[in-house]
Amino acid sequence: MIKKVFSTIRFILVNLMVLFFLLFLVNILSSYLLKWTREPSRAELPNYSDSRAMAKKVIAEYNQQAFGYESFTGWRNKPYAARYTHVNENGMRYYPNAYVADSAYKKVRFFGGSTMWGEGSPDSLTIPAIFQAKNPTIQVYNHGQLAYNSRQNVEVLINLINKGEEIGDVIFYDGVNDVSFLCPSDVPVPGHRLAPIFDKKIYGGMKAVAFEVFNKLFLDKTLLLIQKINPPDYDQQYNCDANPEKVQAIVDFMISNWKLAHELVTNRGGKFTAILQPIAYVGNPKVEHLKLGKELGENVQLVYDALITRIKEENFDWIYIMTDAFDNDEYVYIDFCHVSPNGNQIIADRIQSVIKP
């Protein structure tokens, strides 16, 4: 009897080992298949027809970015230095060859997500860098951070005030991250992109750690390949289109954050400007060169429509709607929100005309 039990256990263990080995093997094979079926680089888009070599390098450097924990905001860029991309010890992107104005001159601080940071562009052609070139006697700071929304930008502003920094004038460039990262059904309002991940990783306990290790070894690449071959139904991922209360919550969230930032800046003698940034789903930009997600687009349009209506109703004279900025015959977008350097030039020109430094 005992011998039979041990024989059964051995049979189960051997089969489990074979199963795990096969899962591991399939996962490795899937990682190679994913590389072979990878979408063409964004550097191949018509936006970069005159600068492909630079674009490839810029995008490669972007993919090498590393991040660390930052109090109150969640994360920020770690220092980095390459040919076209530089991030200083404070996590801020900068252009090493830019003219640096004397500290006595006026300060203008730009806040936003990766579009403000300059994804898809070299240091010299981000929105703040172009603005700096237009206004060499102004001190310009790029506080943009990847995936930051309007609330995180407020936290960065408060951190600067806590440190005793002179604030000067402030520009918030928001909209994309507040909508695309708050409309998913598993993200609360207020919240940010990594809220569900932080919850699992920090408070999930040993069970979450064990699952993550198991997933990394045996499943993650296989699941990605399955999703690539048979894309999931994302109607369940975004729920703003089925949840009017959430749409209103996001609108209130953004307006409230902008009002708070406005108060913080103006009370310190500065000028505050909020900009509702362009996004490929709103207006009439040239986007036939892109594959855009329908579900995200429907959710974005709902929130943007409600937000634009609210801005016009309350008649804020310090909020500017720039959703029409790319309604021209140029290739500007490189995905649903990021743009090539010509897009940054357009926005920098619009900002210049608005704040009149």
Kindly report, residue by residue over 170-204, the tens digit of the pLDDT. Answer: 999 999 999 999 999 889 999 888 877 777 777 76
Do 221 and 342 lie in one domain? The reply is: no
Do 338 and 325 lie in one domain? The reply is: yes
pLDDT score recorded for residue 54: 97
pLDDT score recorded for residue 8: 74
pLDDT score recorded for residue 219: 56
pLDDT by residue (tens digit) across 258-299?
Answer: 999 999 999 999 999 999 999 999 999 999 999 999 999 999
Residue 52 lies in a domain: yes
Other Cβ atoms closer than 10 A to 55 = 25
Do 83 and 14 lie in one domain? The reply is: no
Does residue 82 or residue 209 have the better pLDDT?
A: 82
Mean pLDDT of the 111-137 span? 96
Res. 233: pLDDT tops 60: no
Pick from 33-42, 62-71, 224-233 the range whose average pLDDT is largest. 62-71
Res. 144: pLDDT tops 60: yes
Does residue 232 or residue 332 have the better pLDDT?
A: 332
**Closest among 168, 171, 357 to 269, alpha carbons compared:** 168
Do 22 and 54 lie in one domain? The reply is: no
Mean pLDDT of the 300-315 span? 96
Do 179 and 245 lie in one domain? The reply is: yes
Do 281 and 221 lie in one domain? The reply is: no
**Phi/psi of residue 122, nearest 5 degrees:** -75, 170
Do 220 and 270 lie in one domain? The reply is: no
Q: Which residues contact 329 (CB under 8 A, 6 or more apart)?
A: 286
Other Cβ atoms closer than 10 A to 21 = 11
Do 136 and 216 lie in one domain? The reply is: no
What 3-state DSSP class applies to 186? coil
Spatial distance between the Cα atoms of 244 and 24, rounded to a whole number of angstroms: 44
Spatial distance between the Cα atoms of 306 and 21, rounded to a whole number of angstroms: 52
Count up the domains in the chain and report the number.
2
First to last CA, the chain: 89
- What's the pTM? 0.88
Q: Domain range spanning residue 207?
A: 1-38+201-232
Do 140 and 98 lie in one domain? The reply is: yes
Do 118 and 247 lie in one domain? The reply is: yes
Looking at the chain, the whole-number percentage of residues with pLDDT higher than 90 is 69
Do 18 and 47 lie in one domain? The reply is: no
Residue 190 lies in a domain: no
Res. 235: pLDDT tops 50: no
Residue 212 lies in a domain: yes
**Closest among 184, 109, 180 to 147, alpha carbons compared:** 180
Residue 196 lies in a domain: no
Spatial distance between the Cα atoms of 133 and 148, rounded to a whole number of angstroms: 25
Spatial distance between the Cα atoms of 174 and 254, rounded to a whole number of angstroms: 8
pLDDT score recorded for residue 9: 75
Computed on alpha carbons and rounded to an integer, the radius of gyration of the chain in Å comes to 23
Do 282 and 170 lie in one domain? The reply is: yes
Spatial distance between the Cα atoms of 45 and 1, rounded to a whole number of angstroms: 69
Across the chain, mean pLDDT equals 88
What 3-state DSSP class applies to 77? strand
